[in-house]
Structure 1
């Protein structure tokens, strides 16, 4: 069940991330400004983020056996629209809006995996499930190469076919854990009850920086590398894929460390080191070795923090609200990934470089580290 859930997450995330690697191509072919390009790559992120709130609540009600096939099938339509139809900025934004549905698969998988594992193993299990974010790496590794070899529609057609196959397999094989109790009450009432849980807001802030930072770099790094360092599209895509792979591998490590010790010290350390790496990136040193070291450290720490955050969800969220909490926390993570590309595009347009953007990231990381070690640590001790 964990393997099937991770595969579904990976495929939907692959679909969700298809626009980012082609950002430089869209910029040239559609004559997009830096801000327009930032909007195009950010729109799927915000929709996939906000969509996790209702999808998480629906997963609590109907289970992952229903929701994984539904999300996968619905995502096929915008994948084909972007790949085969979109030919201007407006159409790209519309397609990207609905492509965001693929990003909601995360809110389906977390409550599903959480229900299958004992509390002592949930951090590791959720970290393994979180490796489905490798879909972003697959997109970064393959999209440009496939498009150059077989034409721009080719990667979109491939992903659409794989999503259709997965929907059939998930409907046939996937099973929710025994004893799953569907919650009662309306979607709005259950969402409001979840919002009022103190831990929900705390976890949302943590994930907004941890996962949001990962998403922001995964979608905007190709543009940053081609613009600021003059790399080719293929080279930028491969380097971005390396960033994503390291973050993906670090995610179960963060979950495992949280199972062994506790999520709070793991999160505090991750954000402190990430802040230091952001300061290094802001110095605009050579890409080799300083710039590369900065981004690799950011990848490892943001990935581990994402895994540790959901280890903390498993500890503090009520069992019948894990999907709803996941939806809200996941939405915050996606929203955290929405704004940095816009900020980076605006900063570059205004100043001609990205220094201010990295300084803002460093300040945010240090602030969240302090918040985690302070209020979050006290609340987790009270079992909030």
Structure 2
């Protein structure tokens, strides 16, 4: 029997979409989902590059700009803050406009902060102006939330860890890519406007590709009740805390790494640029690995042991910083980036699994359980992504305070070590220690398997 193809209407809308139907998925669904995934990755990749633009631009801003290290940490903090806040409306924009339509619009909006930075990037510009233009760049952080919500709807639960990890990892890699481009520009004797001029046409390419090759899913409709229900669920906020520890670390360190090297170890901007891209690059590449491991062994277990690794790496960073030893500091910082990437993949895999498990525990079955889990997990992802990105704000503010108080980042790393310990304890207590019967209190009809929290 031939599986039915997706039912379409005008404007690149797909009316019928059922990825959990294996026949449908193999016949037509997988090909469509993967096409949308690749062009979603492209748009999100450019969004991340624009969001983290100022982590690179501050390296160009020498003494002639009149900014102190504290000013630069504050600047990158406000950019991170806006990127976190806009993730909430961006999440629900997919349901309002359609995934393809919103990807086109949100990609086009990236021209605003890029052109604005091109116009003001010169000595003599006031710090207030830089702050305002930096605020505009924050919209690049929102692309992640809408992209993840959109791709979450395209893939079946059995492949969400891989798909979401690949989507997010391809976006995250926009951080090291813009740092590599900046390294090339600095090495060639170019200025910040050269870097900005490279990205303006790339933004146009991303928007055009989304318009030509992506689709909208009619099944993803406006549902304000989902946001309310997700906000009321304790697991949304528990996962938000865990995502602060993983993604907050990744984006916060991405913004701060270069400044730590220049301010604590006396590296020049060019020397710092040779090192700063390595951590975000490897952290981005391993994010899909974290999702794949979570698909196989359970996101909770991978996340738990990942926090152990992050705590150990942070302790070594503290020791290296106190000794003023640059090689081990950089090497372990790169390891910490990779662990944050693995944790990003495993924590995001947990979200749809948790809400699917809750749907099964309520006695829902089949498509009803899938729809319930997809509805709440899609809404929760926006909230979790927004709170997680706020972790990047905290990291930059912690570094700012640490440099003001102690002249180094050691004080900040001590605080991060304590926080990773909290995240480990929460993961163990809520998702690993708890027996399966606490999650699967409702007997499974016909002996069907229920998910335990340790399996999500």
Q: TM-score, normalised by structure 1?
A: 0.94
Alignment-derived partner of residue 37 in structure 2: 2
What's the CA shift string for 1:222-281, capped at 9, x where partnerless?
010011112221221221100111101121111010000100110111111101111111
Residue 302, structure 1, aligned to residue 340, structure 2 = yes
Residue 350, structure 1, aligned to residue 405, structure 2 = yes
Q: CA deviation at 1:349?
A: 1.3
Alignment-derived partner of residue 237 in structure 1: 273
Q: Which runs of 5+ in 2 are unaligned?
A: 1-35, 356-372, 440-451
Alignment-derived partner of residue 220 in structure 2: 181
What SS class does the counterpart of residue 215 from structure 2 fall into? coil
Alignment-derived partner of residue 95 in structure 1: 133
- Structure 2 Cα separation of the partners of residues 163 and 31 of structure 1: 31
Residue 123, structure 1, aligned to residue 161, structure 2 = yes
- Over the aligned positions, Cα root-mean-square deviation in angstroms equals 1.9
- Structure 2 Cα separation of the partners of residues 16 and 321 of structure 1: 27
Conservation of the 8 A alpha-carbon contact between 1:34 and 1:346:
no
Q: Aligned in 2, Cα 1:150/1:354: closer, same or farther, shift over 3 Å?
A: closer
- Structure 1 Cα separation of the partners of residues 156 and 325 of structure 2: 44
Question: Highest CA radius of gyration, 1 or 2?
Answer: 2
Alignment-derived partner of residue 422 in structure 2: 367
Q: 1:68 aligns with which of 83, 103, 117?
A: 103
What's the CA shift string for 1:113-164, capped at 9, x where partnerless?
2122221111011111111101000111112432563332121122121112
Q: Which runs of 5+ in 1 are unaligned?
A: none
Q: Which runs of structure 2 are paired with 1:136-175 in the superposition (5 Å)? A: 136-146=175-185, 149-175=189-215
Conservation of the 8 A alpha-carbon contact between 2:152 and 2:378:
no
Q: 1:254 aligns with which of 284, 290, 297?
A: 290
Alignment-derived partner of residue 316 in structure 2: 280
Q: Aligned in 2, Cα 1:9/1:181: closer, same or farther, shift over 3 Å?
A: closer
- Structure 2 Cα separation of the partners of residues 182 and 324 of structure 1: 11
- Structure 1 Cα separation of the partners of residues 62 and 80 of structure 2: 18
Q: Which runs of structure 2 are paired with 1:186-201 in the superposition (5 Å)? A: 190-201=226-237
- Structure 1 Cα separation of the partners of residues 253 and 82 of structure 2: 17
Query: Could you say which structure has the greater relative contact order, defined with CA pairs below 8 angstroms and 6 or more residues apart?
Result: 1
Q: CA deviation at 1:289?
A: 4.0
What SS class does the counterpart of residue 153 from structure 1 fall into? helix
Conservation of the 8 A alpha-carbon contact between 1:130 and 1:251:
yes
More displaced 10-residue stretch of structure 1: 57-66 or 196-205: 57-66
Conservation of the 8 A alpha-carbon contact between 1:22 and 1:144:
no
- Structure 2 Cα separation of the partners of residues 379 and 183 of structure 1: 36
Alignment-derived partner of residue 142 in structure 2: 104
Q: TM-score, normalised by structure 2?
A: 0.79
How many residue pairs match? The answer is 380
Q: Aligned in 2, Cα 1:290/1:170: closer, same or farther, shift over 3 Å?
A: same
Conservation of the 8 A alpha-carbon contact between 1:14 and 1:139:
yes
Q: CA deviation at 1:176?
A: 3.2
Conservation of the 8 A alpha-carbon contact between 2:53 and 2:137:
no
What's the CA shift string for 1:272-305, capped at 9, x where partnerless?
1101111111112454542133212201111100
Alignment-derived partner of residue 70 in structure 2: 35
Residue 341, structure 1, aligned to residue 377, structure 2 = no
Q: Aligned in 2, Cα 1:181/1:221: closer, same or farther, shift over 3 Å?
A: closer
Q: CA deviation at 1:331?
A: 0.5
- Structure 2 Cα separation of the partners of residues 155 and 323 of structure 1: 35
Alignment-derived partner of residue 374 in structure 2: 319
